[in-house]
Amino acid sequence: MKRIRQEVNDLINRGLDAHVRLAVTGLSRAGKTAFITSLVNQLLHTSTHDNLPLLAAARDKRIIGAKRVPQTNLMVPRFGYDEAMAQLQSMPPEWPVPTRDVSEIRLAIKYKTKKRTKKLLSSTSTLYLDIIDYPGEWLLDLPMLELDFAAWSAQQFNAMHGIRAELAKPWLEELDKLDLNEEANEKTLAHIASLYTDYLHKCKESGLHWVQPGRFVLPGELEGAPVLQFFPCRNIEAATKAGKHSVLSLLKKRYEEYQNKVIKAFYKHHFSTFDRQIVLVDCLSPLNDGHESFMDMRSALEQIMHSFRYGRNGLLKRIFSPKIDKVLFAATKADHITPDQYGNLVSLLQQMIHPAWQSAAYENIEMSCISMASVRATKSGHIDTSEGRVPAIQGLTEAGESLTLYPGEVPNKLPNPDFWQKSRFDFTSFRPASMNHDEPCQHIRVDKALDTLIGDKLQ
């Protein structure tokens, strides 16, 4: 009864513009946990600190306070805010541990209303903000809905060159021993599927991001389930004797099950409930890793963008009616570069998502790009060299040594392969800065992100 009442209240709040579901995604290690932790931390402190000057409602002192309230969606795990804060506040400070699944946290933000219509009801309002963390890898699967098993297999094999071909060898060796016409043996298939999953993991470890199916590397609650035990095959057209119980038929069945029960289910049960989306992108690691990694990140982003293309007869429109009307792309970890490079980082990100951007604008989704650091690990300043004053950043390395450096120029356009020959971008991991327990953590433009994403809901 209590739950139904809460759900009814949620519906009313949504109608009154008083409830927003903000989804946070990005490929693994993009900075999702750090961002949500910082965002919650900033909002909890904003009534007592001037920590969010770029969020208009905070700057105008209209935010009365924010507090955490229990989430209403009981089917999704809680976002580990306390655990992440404990790590950031430990001595020495540590980064929060990697996360693997979807999770959620709810804030109630009390603010003074500006809008006259709302003022008629009361001079203060409450915005319920649900923040949902989910792996960007899950969005890589959407295009699979338009491909049958044979077409998907062909696409996977077409992409298997360069580092991928090398990494795929152990799996391919076993795959080539398999006869698709043969009667399916669960154990053999599970074994080959695990080699395929290893291959996808190795791609990620080598700095490649486009991995399909995305759930194989981040299975969440589906770990070990047979629906994740399939793999692409070659020479499918030659398997003319494949009967009902054959290897080919079982793989096809699992692929279709994956399309329906995993991909579509995610879009129906989670994605369809999101109002706003922030996509976090770590552009700096692929700049460090080299050309192949960079181009791969770009194609992964292109795949991710499909989820925001709602065309009239689009794939997503057929499953549900999408609601997301604002998408913000944020280049994370900007405290790794000097402030004079922020502009370049934003234009690089814009270039990476440019083609898909245009079609989304057409669909009336508002899109924008910023650079941001959720949890600052460095200070910026200048150093005097024989060539004059140069900008620099300073912080403690993960090993605890003080380091001052100019990490290099960020290209403002998609770099050519010779960029990696000429200048190597020097990207070092820093330890988060130590913080006082009663102070909000230091950030760069988390307030700008908030203003773009929910500023209009705090009017």
Q: 336 is in the binding site of which of ligand GTP, Mg ion, none (Cβ under 5 to 8 A by kind)?
A: ligand GTP
Q: Quote the longest CA-to-CA distance of the chain.
A: 76
Cα Rg of the chain, angstroms: 24
With H, G, I as helix, E, B as strand and everything else as coil, classify residue 323. coil
Question: 104 Cβ partners below 8 Å, 6+ apart?
Answer: 71, 73, 76, 77, 78, 79, 130, 131, 132, 133
Cα–Cα distance measured from residue 299 to residue 455, given in angstroms and rounded to the nearest whole number:
31
Alpha helical stretches, state H, 325-445: 342-352, 354-362, 418-422
Residue 136 beta carbon to ligand GTP: minimum distance, rounded to whole angstroms:
8
Determine, following the binding rule CB under 5 A, whether residue 303 of this chain makes contact with Mg ion. no
- Residues in contact with ligand GTP by CB under 6 A are 26, 28-34, 95-96, 98-99, 135, 332-333, 335-336, 373-375, 377, 429-430
Q: 215 is in the binding site of which of Mg ion, ligand GTP, none (Cβ under 5 to 8 A by kind)?
A: none
Exactly one of 32, 106, 270, 431 binds Mg ion (CB under 5 A); that residue is: 32
Q: 333 is in the binding site of which of Mg ion, ligand GTP, none (Cβ under 5 to 8 A by kind)?
A: ligand GTP
Q: 375 is in the binding site of which of Mg ion, ligand GTP, none (Cβ under 5 to 8 A by kind)?
A: ligand GTP
Q: Which is nearer to ligand GTP, 28 or 71 (CB)?
A: 28
The token pair at 73 is 């969606």
Residue 98 beta carbon to ligand GTP: minimum distance, rounded to whole angstroms:
3
- Exposure class string for 303-331: b at 16+ Cβ within 10 A, else e: bbbbbbbbeeeebbeebeebebebbbbbb
Determine, following the binding rule CB under 5 A, whether residue 202 of this chain makes contact with Mg ion. no
Residue with tokens 């922030």: 278
Determine, following the binding rule CB under 5 A, whether residue 264 of this chain makes contact with Mg ion. no
The DSSP code sequence of 251-272 is HHHHHHHIIIIIIIHHHHHTGG
Q: 26 is in the binding site of which of ligand GTP, Mg ion, none (Cβ under 5 to 8 A by kind)?
A: ligand GTP
Residue with tokens 């150093």: 383
Determine, following the binding rule CB under 5 A, whether residue 332 of this chain makes contact with Mg ion. no
Q: Which is nearer to ligand GTP, 135 or 219 (CB)?
A: 135
Cα–Cα distance measured from residue 359 to residue 363, given in angstroms and rounded to the nearest whole number:
7
Residue 26 beta carbon to Mg ion: minimum distance, rounded to whole angstroms:
9
Residue 133 beta carbon to ligand GTP: minimum distance, rounded to whole angstroms:
7
Determine, following the binding rule CB under 5 A, whether residue 41 of this chain makes contact with Mg ion. no
Determine, following the binding rule CB under 5 A, whether residue 298 of this chain makes contact with Mg ion. no
Determine, following the binding rule CB under 5 A, whether residue 33 of this chain makes contact with Mg ion. yes
Residue 32 beta carbon to ligand GTP: minimum distance, rounded to whole angstroms:
4
Cα–Cα distance measured from residue 451 to residue 459, given in angstroms and rounded to the nearest whole number:
11
Q: Which is nearer to Mg ion, 42 or 99 (CB)?
A: 99
Determine, following the binding rule CB under 5 A, whether residue 99 of this chain makes contact with Mg ion. yes
Alpha helical stretches, state H, 62-185: 81-88, 116-121, 149-158, 163-167, 169-175
Query: Which residues of the chain form contacts with Mg ion (CB under 5 A)?
Result: 32-33, 99
